[in-house]
Amino acid sequence: MDKEAHRVAYLIAGYIRNTLSNAEHVELDDWVNANDRNMKLFEDLTDEKNIEANLAMMERTQSEQIFRELQQGGRFEKPKRRKMGLVWMSAAAMFIILLVVFAVWRTANSSSSPNKKPPIVKRDILQPGGNKATLTLPDGSIIDLADAKNGPLPTAAALNISKQDDEVLIYPQESDGKNVEAIHMLTTPVGGQFQVTLNDNTKVWLNAESTLRYPAAFHSNERRVELSGEAYFEVAHNAKAPFKVVLADSDTVAVLGTHFNVQAYPKEKEKTITLVEGKVLVQNDRHKAVLAPGMQAVIQDDTIATATNIDIEEATGWKEGLFVFHDAPIEQIMTQVARWYNAKIVYQGDFKQQFNATISRGEPLEKLLRLLQLNGYVKFKTENNIIYVLP
């Protein structure tokens, strides 16, 4: 146990001193993600204020016992008093980490039991999003779906719309034909997500800060919805009624089928359509492209470009409750983080490195940022709802 603790202490000290190799970064990443206790210990040990306070205390006391224990391990020599510098700081930092790791492990082993859970520490930080959305009906009335109880929606009882499992809106597959062409609007806020099963049994997952417009029931030879934001579609097959998604830019129309992801946020320059299963035709007034599974269409201005061998997991991970980043720039990552945690991002430097991570969208912001910091390329500071990205 002491040997393992010493190894962890070495990795954390190397992280603080920025001396870890790529393989050691991976090893530390695996240890941090093993459980919440490891993550909490890592957060405490790498907190700059804690490090500064402990080092200041040690420099004041200059305990001979500290050096004896360090020398017994054969790893450090006692520096001369006139050379108080990086050697002293590195040795002291290592010893502090060793002490804390040993203490935590021994406490956990002596006091933990299968039925005892560690206390939850509440922090004043930005929280992850959740199942939040509003439904706007044709008469202008708005239903807050986060507050609505599971079961039939009271103000939409005539249409038999219901909410299930606190996360999905269900439209009946049979309708009475009254006002079925009237448009409904499902809207998720920043930090919100929701699902809807349409009248034709098509399933739609709506990501944060998105709006889907659709009729209560489809009764024509074309099924048409409008999207602003991001959504994942599983379209019910109906050869007699093609399914069309019209993007927020009315000049661009995506004619789609089967399983696919559409990202079309108004503030972003590019719109992407990623096909998972089936076949897709993407078109506008000037261009069109046919996609096969694993392909992606990228729409910018009035052009449509296609790419093959797309990373489907990265494009659709949000639907599974994950942030998935493969060789992603920090700007791409923080755009998603800002939208999910309702945060503002401020960059204080230039960043050319690419990042790889798979992180649950249910994690507290502090944990997510700590994980992103593990590669040593970037640091973060949070104040209120602002995340500062630092080199």
Structural domain includes residue 125: no
Structural domain includes residue 117: no
Taking a C-beta distance cutoff of 8 angstroms, is the pair 306, 296 a contact?
yes
| Residue 47 and residue 190 in one domain | no
pLDDT digits (tens, 9 = 90+) for 168-206: 999 998 766 566 678 999 999 999 999 999 999 999 999
CATH number at residue 370: 3.55.50.30
What is the phi/psi pair of residue 147, to 5°?
A: -90, -20
Continuous segment of H or E residues that includes residue 172: none
Q: Given 111, 143, 168, which residue is the final one in a domain?
A: 111
Structural domain includes residue 166: yes
Stretch 4-11: mean pLDDT, rounded? 78
| Residue 381 and residue 254 in one domain | no
Structural domain includes residue 102: yes
Taking a C-beta distance cutoff of 8 angstroms, is the pair 98, 106 a contact?
no
What is the phi/psi pair of residue 162, to 5°?
A: -135, 155
Q: Given 313, 337, 365, which residue is the final one in a domain?
A: 313
**Rounded distance, CA 131 to CA 341, Å?**
13
| Residue 289 and residue 194 in one domain | yes
- Asked if the model's pLDDT at residue 254 lies above 60, the reply is yes
| Alpha helices per DSSP H over the chain | 2-17, 22-32, 36-45, 48-61, 64-72, 86-111, 312-316, 330-341, 365-373
pLDDT digits (tens, 9 = 90+) for 68-85: 555 555 544 444 443 334
Q: Given 249, 283, 313, which residue is the final one in a domain?
A: 313
Structural domain includes residue 116: no
Among 160, 164, 162, 154, which residue's Cα sits nearest to residue 175? Answer: 160
Q: Which of the 8 DSSP states describes residue 83?
A: G
**Rounded distance, CA 26 to CA 69, Å?**
29
Q: Which amino acid type is present at position 232?
A: Y
Q: Which amino acid type is present at position 350?
A: D
Number of domains in the chain: 3
Q: Name every residue whose Cβ is closer than 8 Å to that of residue 77 and which is 6 or more positions away in sequence.
A: 71
CATH number at residue 294: 2.60.120.1440
- Asked if the model's pLDDT at residue 305 lies above 50, the reply is yes
Structural domain includes residue 38: yes
| Residue 309 and residue 332 in one domain | no
Higher pLDDT, 382 or 257: 382
| Residue 151 and residue 245 in one domain | yes
| Residue 156 and residue 205 in one domain | yes
| Residue 216 and residue 274 in one domain | yes
Confidence of residue 88 (pLDDT cuts 50, 70, 90): very low
| Residue 180 and residue 50 in one domain | no
Q: Which is it for strands 296-300 and 288-291: parallel, antiparallel or unpaired? A: unpaired
SS3 content of the chain, % helix, strand, coil (to 5): 30, 30, 35
Stretch 274-300: mean pLDDT, rounded? 92
Structural domain includes residue 123: no
**Rounded distance, CA 347 to CA 350, Å?**
8
Q: According to the model, what pLDDT value does residue 48 have? A: 61
| Residue 293 and residue 216 in one domain | yes
Q: Which domain holds residue 219?
A: 130-313
Structural domain includes residue 118: no
| Residue 215 and residue 274 in one domain | yes
Confidence of residue 263 (pLDDT cuts 50, 70, 90): very high
| Residue 63 and residue 90 in one domain | yes
What is the phi/psi pair of residue 18, to 5°?
A: 60, 45
CB-based burial of residue 200 (10 Å sphere; 0-12 exposed, 13-18 middle, 19+ buried)?
Answer: middle
pTM attached to this predicted model: 0.72
| Residue 327 and residue 297 in one domain | no
**Rounded distance, CA 117 to CA 355, Å?**
33
